Structure 1
Amino acid sequence: MNQEEQVQVLGLWGSPFSKRVEMVLQLKGIPYEYIEEDVYGNKSPMLLKYNPIHKKVPVLVHNGRSIAESLVIVEYIEDTWKTGPTILPQDPYERAMARFWAKYVDEKVMVAMGKAFWGPESEREKERKEAYEGLISLEKEIGDKRFFGGETIGIVDIAADFIGYWLGIVQEVSGVTIMTAEEFPNLKRWSEDFVGNNIIKEVLPPKQKLAALFKTPFRSAATSG
């Protein structure tokens, strides 16, 4: 990688937020240097320098300039590199809808799931129902489409990577079930197509290693960003 196009990703191997960034870079064929961060221990001087506000991963560093927050990074990559597949639709309305659903996944479904699995015991059932309702909306939205945007992977699929891969592992480890194949056949089919993509498959962390991670007490840094 030449100095004129230096791309670095500060990430965490088990974080679905961190993996979103790598997925898009890989899909677009953009070379990058990956730097693993110890967000549970001493945060590196590099992380503190490039994300002094939140001090979390992921962070994209492009030619010395940093961008934080996974979906913000995904849009930056889309706007900066025109190589490879498009992650956001070109049509303004479809683009707005894709942003809406990506934000819905992040701020509605993911938040509820986090609380359902790792929140206070007294609130978990309420949040499980909230997450379930969110999945119903996504089940209707995906319908019979291969991916949320159609035939190719887009920003909503990337945003929903936790649902496609991490969720099944967390359900198995925790014993808490939110999504089943019987109740959500469209999402189940989508998850198989998404995880089965050759490029996505290369980025995903090993299942056994993730299961071991989620058996330890939940730490918010693991899934932040």
Structure 2
Amino acid sequence: MGVVKLFATEGSLFCARIQWALKLKGVEYEFILEDLANKSPLLLKYNPIYKKVPVLVHGDNVVLESLVILEYIEDTWKEHPLLPRDPYDRATARFWAKFNDEKLVLQVWTACTGEGEAQEKAKESALESLALVEKQIEGKKFFGGEQIGYLDLVLGWMPHWISAIEEAGGNKIPEAEMFPSLHQWGQNIIHTPLIEECIPAKEELVPYLRFMIGYIRSSSANKP
């Protein structure tokens, strides 16, 4: 079916979800580590619009954006289905995935790395969003039911990355006991062997996140 290559960084939560999906599906792939401070010519060739990771190359096909890549993986390799069969359940999973990428990640990031009033507002918003997600996982082992599914992969950054972002940014979001169902789900997912082996060590992740904080701040300061 063609060679599979993943252009990624080891600290990116968006790249981690792709690694997890490929491993759950049993797909062999080449991991190509990118340096975001010195992007490779191949990355710029494959993703000339956004110039970022992850990028999945499958034979002659180049697939961009992590949620799109997840759906491509789901449609291409049938082992270990990620999305539910029921159309409504599939739509619901996609909704919460979009909610995560467009709201929750940014809220947590700003709550941990921001300053002043913006940081306080983001913290409040992040707590509201986490409470909404908490309701979705109550009484379940995984969002996908008894096995890890699409939404588990999308939200799987939370149990490891939030504490690392807190450490890198210097601000904390209240402890996990506020959200007991999310906390238990987090333990279930990060201790799944296929997931655990792709989680970067905290001592490597925190410096990466500090670099990203500086990179984003520098990019924002240079905008006209």
When the two structures are superposed, what TM-score results if normalisation uses the length of structure 2? 0.91
Aligned to 1:36: 33
Write the distance in 2 (CA, Å) between the matches of 1:216 and 1:30. 31
Do residues 69 (structure 1) and 59 (structure 2) align? Answer: no
Secondary structure in structure 2 of the residue aligned to 1:14: coil
Aligned to 2:206: 211
**Cα distance, 1:37 vs structure 2:** 0.7
**RMSD (CA atoms):** 1.6
> Residue by residue, what CA displacement relative to the aligned partner does 1:109-146 show, whole Å, maximum 9, x if unpaired?
11111222233543111011111100000111100200
Write the distance in 2 (CA, Å) between the matches of 1:10 and 1:20. 13
Aligned equivalent of 2:161, options 161, 166, 179: 166
> Residue by residue, what CA displacement relative to the aligned partner does 1:132-169 show, whole Å, maximum 9, x if unpaired?
10000011110020011211111111111221211122
Write the distance in 1 (CA, Å) between the matches of 2:154 and 2:36. 21
Amino acid aligned to 1:71: L
Equivalences for residues 1-225 of structure 1 within 5 A = 4-41=1-38, 43-83=39-79, 85-216=80-211, 218=213, 219-220=215-216
**Cα distance, 1:64 vs structure 2:** 2.3
Query: Which residues of structure 1 form unaligned runs of 5+?
Result: none
Write the distance in 2 (CA, Å) between the matches of 1:107 and 1:152. 25
Secondary structure in structure 2 of the residue aligned to 1:56: coil
Write the distance in 1 (CA, Å) between the matches of 2:83 and 2:198. 20
Q: Is the 8 A contact 2:7 2:31 kept in 1?
A: yes
Q: 1:173 to 1:53 in 2, by over 3 A?
A: closer
Q: 1:53 to 1:129 in 2, by over 3 A?
A: same
Higher mean alpha-carbon deviation, 191-200 vs 144-153, is at 144-153
Higher mean alpha-carbon deviation, 175-184 vs 131-140, is at 175-184
| Greater RCO (CA < 8 Å, at least 6 residues apart) | 1
Write the distance in 2 (CA, Å) between the matches of 1:146 and 1:49. 41
Aligned to 2:220: none
Write the distance in 2 (CA, Å) between the matches of 1:207 and 1:48. 29
State the 4+ residue runs in structure 1 displaced beyond 4 angstroms: none
Higher mean alpha-carbon deviation, 198-207 vs 157-166, is at 157-166
Amino acid aligned to 1:72: V
Write the distance in 2 (CA, Å) between the matches of 1:174 and 1:45. 31
Amino acid aligned to 2:158: I
Write the distance in 1 (CA, Å) between the matches of 2:203 and 2:71. 31
Secondary structure in structure 2 of the residue aligned to 1:34: strand
Write the distance in 1 (CA, Å) between the matches of 2:137 and 2:96. 11
Query: Which residues of structure 2 form unaligned runs of 5+?
Result: 218-224
Write the distance in 2 (CA, Å) between the matches of 1:215 and 1:98. 31
> Residue by residue, what CA displacement relative to the aligned partner does 1:153-187 show, whole Å, maximum 9, x if unpaired?
11111111221211122224444222422211111
Higher mean alpha-carbon deviation, 209-218 vs 19-28, is at 209-218
Q: 1:49 to 1:215 in 2, by over 3 A?
A: closer
Higher mean alpha-carbon deviation, 114-123 vs 32-41, is at 114-123
